[in-house]
Structure 1
């Protein structure tokens, strides 16, 4: 009897969350791009390409978002944004129908200053392999609560993607349906509900602790043009004098998403990150690091390393995702040393991470 009552209670709780049905009209949405009414396989909605729809309600924080959509095999990235502060800052979940069944068939990324970040956030909690029918209606349901979310795609019995930790600070914002490609995506039956207790079904994992030796904070400069470093093997002094600095804490992974700090734009595609390392004697230490997209490493003003991880720069399958894949051996003098890393970005994620596993005899400050 207790089990029956419990099941009934869960059922009542689930259906007690009232959904607001929203028609696709200008009184409820702000439109950009190419949009027109459409009826497809028994459902009436809209066709959207090269644009987005912005729900006029700007108060969504936690709750449920549901809609139907159609997808084709084309290479494009339609999806749903939420907690949108403005068109350049929001949480984003998108589908990659050309990657059906692959580990990145669906992805979550935070958008800061209009910059993608999939090269920084990938794998468990950010992307996964799913399948769903093409050229048919597919039901999408998104559950959001504070820093956690679940995404259901076609199969409502279990989440297709469990997002363990949303990266943006939870704030009220708008909902956005997005399709920036010149390929038609249909949307129908949009509804949403605001609730602090959406009926999650997935298993959420706590954030992993930092690895040994992870550098937890850096000094970060303002932006400048990467070209200023082209013809020098040392840091140009006229550039160094123009830099301003702030101390920035990393995520537990060691990553700093530099787009949180500065906006990528023409002539402003590079940032310096800096560490001050005090050594008790002359010695060599290994610095392991990851970056996106390009890096130059300077020790005490002299260039000692350069690397490139731009998307497809190594072969057509190379994604340019960040990780502790590179290392440099720091020739440290006794006393104070400065390690500067110039990080330049094209697209896909602007970030840096580093760790010094052996810190014996060192004092490290950002």
Structure 2
């Protein structure tokens, strides 16, 4: 054979191989035939004019790591949980995305991602941004579903939408690759059709949102082997009932504080199961310390062998609609003794997720050099926003009254000195639930429920009201270098622009859904809000939006520039981040444990003073950020 012919033959062989090789990213259709699918748990039927599958079926001889999975799904609207399992390792370990048709269009968890590990579904541990989302899913029609996966991230598109209905920030199952299966009941509640997939390592994802660590987490635990719940008296320590074969295993909590028991233990049977978990809390003396905790499905808390708490949080345990989502929803006071104290939990599981979390309810975090300087009495209605007046050397704080909405028009703005003295609690009155504040010269701008109110500081009088076009929840205000005024509307998902006496709805975009705090950094408008929460840069000239940084959870309230070109970002639950122009976010303050909230903050650059309205806590505090 001539060299030329040999080269042509080799090229042809490689071309044929490429046509048949899934790794080269072509879409492969997989009709529901026995040679391609394990169909033992499924039925093939005609539905809505198509051949369809109902039930559970696994795709043969496919190992899925990264790529795209697509199928059409038709549901009846009845309670069911049809979806896709991927990266499956047997029947006990896989990632799963599914629809709750009976909650579609009504609840924010109609679309769910959850891993199953050791045969334990984990949806009670996987709730909120990155795990669940609301979605419309009309019954009795074919709805396209598209899942894209790359590394530890995934996203789900529904009904041909350009934007994902759910962005999964972390695939928790921990398996790099595995099988694919359609999962549903073998009845008329759900049908699958038009299945196809593509193995593709070239998908592009934005960087995963920042995963914040909870403050005061109890992170080091020993957990026992699992027992049948009926074999344990959960009100007595194990040694008091003669249980010695515990087979303790050291585990570490996740940054949130969660210990995911299903990652380490397999239930011994179908009946409810229980494990013991223990850790040591050290104290310099006798004291009472608040413990915040969460669990699924039931827990007993013992300190030094004595029962302090016993509770249940299983699905539908407390009422017919109760989901049993795990979170820091419970608290107990720990009577600590000097030295080492053993905290022991019995954690039981019936269905939906096996785990627990604990944190010190009094723990706070301050970055080095950060000091709390003062805090006012809790005498404010709901202090929402603060602004600094450099000409007069004072602070103004808006008083929102969410408890008495019918009394709108009777709220005020308070005046404070820089040392925290309340000079006048009702310095300006006659306002309708003011929120965001901004200052330009002798004019104070206050965002009220229907209008932007301009206040003349020299006369302490309302000078003008500029009404918003069909407002929903106007929130914060910022003033550009050219004098244009911008106002966020959190529930309308837009920015208003005011020039002179004219107000227009200037920009609406998906990124502005739940937009809250806004400020200017030079000529760039910076906006914070959304779910998951994010900080955005808005180009005024181009009316374009760029993501600076995203977090996995929380609610952004105030944003303020500091004196170094960064943005200070306050989360309502009680956290402050410093965000560099590069998007690097550093946590500066965390007061979520004791529940000290952050509202729309003010920053006094020449003094390095951060002023924090505590919102529903009813006080105003100040920190040194030198």
- Whether these two folds match at TM > 0.5 is yes
* Contact 1:286/1:328 (<8 A) preserved: yes
- 1:121 Cα deviation (Å)? 0.7
Q: Secondary structure at the match of 2:123?
A: coil
User: Is 1:353 aligned with 2:361?
Assistant: no
Match of 1:91 among 89, 95, 113: 95
| CA distances 1:58-77 after superposition (whole Å, capped 9, x unpaired) | 42100000111211111000
User: Is 1:216 aligned with 2:216?
Assistant: no
- Structure of greater Rg: 2
Match of 2:167 among 162, 167, 170: 162
User: Is 1:45 aligned with 2:51?
Assistant: yes
Matched residues in 2 for 1:268 and 1:243: separation? 18
* Contact 2:73/2:193 (<8 A) preserved: yes
* Contact 2:82/2:185 (<8 A) preserved: yes
Q: Secondary structure at the match of 1:303?
A: strand
Match of 1:74 in 2: 78
| CA distances 1:174-206 after superposition (whole Å, capped 9, x unpaired) | 100011353342222211111112255xx6642
- 1:103 Cα deviation (Å)? 0.6
Matched residues in 2 for 1:282 and 1:83: separation? 50
Matched residues in 2 for 1:27 and 1:313: separation? 44
* Contact 1:312/1:319 (<8 A) preserved: yes
* Contact 2:42/2:186 (<8 A) preserved: no
* Contact 2:47/2:191 (<8 A) preserved: no
Q: Which moved more, 1:280-289 or 1:77-86?
A: 280-289
Matched residues in 1 for 2:289 and 2:181: separation? 48
1:330-349, aligned counterparts within 5 Å?
330-349=334-353
1:260-279, aligned counterparts within 5 Å?
260-264=263-267, 265-266=269-270, 269-279=273-283
Structure 1 residue runs of 5 or longer lacking an equivalent are: 1-15, 361-366
Give the TM-score, by structure 1 length. 0.87
Matched residues in 2 for 1:283 and 1:184: separation? 56
- 1:341 Cα deviation (Å)? 0.3
Change over 3 Å in CA distance of 1:267–1:77 after alignment to 2: closer
Supply the RMSD in Å over aligned alpha carbons.
2.0
Match of 2:64 in 1: 60
Matched residues in 1 for 2:93 and 2:187: separation? 23
User: Is 1:245 aligned with 2:251?
Assistant: no
- 1:340 Cα deviation (Å)? 0.3
Matched residues in 2 for 1:279 and 1:355: separation? 15
Matched residues in 2 for 1:187 and 1:232: separation? 48
Structure 2 residue runs of 5 or longer lacking an equivalent are: 1-23, 365-626
- 1:141 Cα deviation (Å)? 0.6
Give the TM-score, by structure 2 length. 0.52
Match of 1:3 in 2: none
Match of 1:24 among 24, 32, 46: 32
1:96-175, aligned counterparts within 5 Å?
96-101=100-105, 102-175=107-180
- 1:357 Cα deviation (Å)? 4.2
- 1:342 Cα deviation (Å)? 0.3
> How many equivalent pairs are there?
339
Match of 2:324 in 1: 320
| CA distances 1:179-234 after superposition (whole Å, capped 9, x unpaired) | 1353342222211111112255xx66424221110122311111113234448544
Change over 3 Å in CA distance of 1:266–1:177 after alignment to 2: closer
Change over 3 Å in CA distance of 1:237–1:351 after alignment to 2: same
- 1:26 Cα deviation (Å)? 1.3
Match of 1:6 in 2: none
